[in-house]
């Protein structure tokens, strides 16, 4: 088994290596591919030193699996070479997610789709993964008609630059200095920014439309309608989502709670008496999606809930490694 990580020096790429080590992902050869800026630098993986190589078409020859942790342009640039080499490209970018011949996979929900690939398997958007896992148990009881969601997305969703900017702004604020704004359109420390991604003609951002477009494909519910608002919040890691959903058949709160608790990859934390609910800090640096505040939606009799999950791990790196494990186990 020969594995390459494309974008290995980035935030998600490094997390993929961490997850692979934790899960004892088997390989005979590991190739770490990066851009020109990181080429020649080294990192240590399971006690062995590896050197980042600048990605080229020839980099994929002999590889069996390529884990993609690079942006759209890089994924599109190298996808033909990866397929030509005979490797399976598990891509974390949004370049191929909605292509008809590319499976979009969350292993807890639609693992069988992974085996319908023609060389590329897409990893969904981080918010989509977390939300889909949170509602996956309910979706097994009855198809979802509508979903209204608001996401509260950590700055690490914007990469290392987002993490750095929040940390620096907090330090600058404490020192009484002028705050530097670069990675985000305005100050993020002690603030909220209700726009992630470019706004489209319908008034929603591309990030917001992903929950509907990708969610339909993953859940096999082509008629599901989603209204989403994505908000950047001054949290370092782990996205949170408030979800209200309406199913075709009426589902009571206790049925929903049991279905969520029984669904793989979820934990129900919903103890109002002791103020125990999912939070970003609690759900950081792990792979489960925590769900709480499960209650009836008073506007339409549906289900309302709150969920949190680490968007770098389950929302990106871990989900990709899980897809690779599906292929190995098959």
Give the CATH number, domain containing residue 59. 3.40.50.720
Q: In the block, which residue shows the tokens 């950590």?
A: 154
Asked if residue 300 and residue 173 are part of one domain, the reply reads yes
Give the model's pLDDT for residue 75: 98
Tell me the HSE value of 246 on the side-chain side, using a 13 A CA sphere: 13
Sheet holding 225-232, edge to edge: 225-232, 144-153, 239-247, 303-309, 289-296, 266-268
Tokens of 246: 């309406």
Asked if residue 167 and residue 66 are part of one domain, the reply reads no
Q: Determine the average pLDDT of the residues in 155-179.
A: 97
Asked if residue 214 and residue 263 are part of one domain, the reply reads yes
Quick check: pTM over 0.95?
A: yes
Q: DSSP secondary-structure letter at 199?
A: B
Asked if residue 149 and residue 101 are part of one domain, the reply reads no
Pairing of strands 289-296, 303-309: antiparallel
Asked if residue 103 and residue 57 are part of one domain, the reply reads yes
In 3D, which of 295, 265, 296, 297 has the Cα closest to residue 283? 265
Cβ atoms of 34 and 8 closer than 8 Å? yes
List pLDDT tens digits, range 223-232: 999 999 999 9
User: Per the residue annotation, which of 117, 228, 230, 239 is the catalytic one?
Assistant: 239
Between CA 60 and CA 133 the distance in angstroms is: 32
Give the model's pLDDT for residue 330: 81
Give the model's pLDDT for residue 48: 93
pLDDT at residue 314 is higher than 90? yes
Asked if residue 271 and residue 167 are part of one domain, the reply reads yes
List pLDDT tens digits, range 232-291: 999 999 999 999 999 999 999 999 999 999 999 999 999 999 999 999 999 999 999 999
List pLDDT tens digits, range 111-131: 999 999 999 999 999 999 999
Structural domain of 265: 128-311
For the chain, how many structural domains are there in total?
2
For residue 326, name the pLDDT band (cuts at 50, 70, 90): very high
What is the CATH number for 263? 3.30.360.10
Asked if residue 168 and residue 297 are part of one domain, the reply reads yes
What single string gives the DSSP state of each residue in 86-139? T-EEEE-SSSSTT-TTS-B--TTT-GGGGGG-SSEEEPPPHHHHHHHHHHHHHH
Asked if residue 110 and residue 52 are part of one domain, the reply reads yes
Tell me the HSE value of 256 on the side-chain side, using a 13 A CA sphere: 27
Check if 239 is active-site: yes
Asked if residue 142 and residue 62 are part of one domain, the reply reads no
Asked if residue 144 and residue 38 are part of one domain, the reply reads no
Average pLDDT value for the chain = 97
pLDDT at residue 204 is higher than 90? yes
Total residue count of the chain as it appears in this document: 330
Asked if residue 218 and residue 119 are part of one domain, the reply reads no
pLDDT at residue 214 is higher than 90? yes
Reported as type and span, the H/E element at residue 80 is helix 72-84
Asked if residue 247 and residue 161 are part of one domain, the reply reads yes
């Amino acid at each position: 088994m020969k594995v390459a990580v494309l974008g290995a020096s980035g935030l998600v790429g490094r997390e993929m290596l961490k997850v692979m080590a934790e899960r004892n992902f088997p390989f005979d050869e590991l190739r770490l591919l990066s851009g020109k800026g990181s080429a020649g630098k080294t990192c240590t993986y399971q006690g062995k030193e590896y050197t980042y190589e600048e990605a080229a078409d020839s980099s994929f020859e002999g590889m069996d699996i390529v884990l993609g942790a690079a942006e759209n342009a890089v994924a599109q640039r190298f996808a033909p070479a990866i397929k030509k080499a005979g490797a399976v490209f598990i891509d974390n970018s949004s370049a191929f997610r909605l292509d008809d011949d590319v499976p979009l996979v969350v292993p807890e929900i639609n693992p069988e789709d992974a085996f319908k690939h023609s060389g590329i398997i897409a990893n969904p958007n981080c918010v989509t993964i977390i939300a889909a896992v949170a509602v996956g148990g309910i979706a097994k009881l009855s198809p979802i008609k509508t979903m209204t969601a608001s996401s509260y997305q950590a700055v690490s969703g914007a990469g290392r630059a987002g993490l750095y900017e929040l940390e620096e702004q907090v330090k600058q604020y404490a020192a009484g200095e002028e705050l530097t704004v670069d990675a985000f359109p305005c100050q993020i420390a002690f603030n909220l920014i209700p726009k992630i991604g470019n706004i489209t003609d319908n008034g929603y951002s591309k990030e917001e439309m992903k929950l509907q477009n990708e969610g339909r494909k993953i859940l096999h519910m082509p008629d599901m309608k989603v209204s989403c608002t994505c908000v950047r919040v001054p949290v370092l890691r782990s996205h949170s989502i408030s979800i209200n959903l309406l199913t075709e058949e009426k589902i009571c709160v206790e049925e929903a709670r049991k279905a969520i608790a029984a669904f793989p990859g979820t934990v129900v934390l919903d103890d109002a008496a002791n103020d125990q609910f999912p939070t970003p800090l609690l759900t950081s640096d792990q792979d489960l999606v925590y769900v709480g505040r499960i209650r009836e939606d008073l506007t339409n009799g549906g289900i309302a809930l709150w969920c949190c999950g680490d968007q770098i791990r389950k929302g990106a790196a871990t989900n990709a490694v899980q897809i690779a494990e599906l292929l190995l186990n098959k």
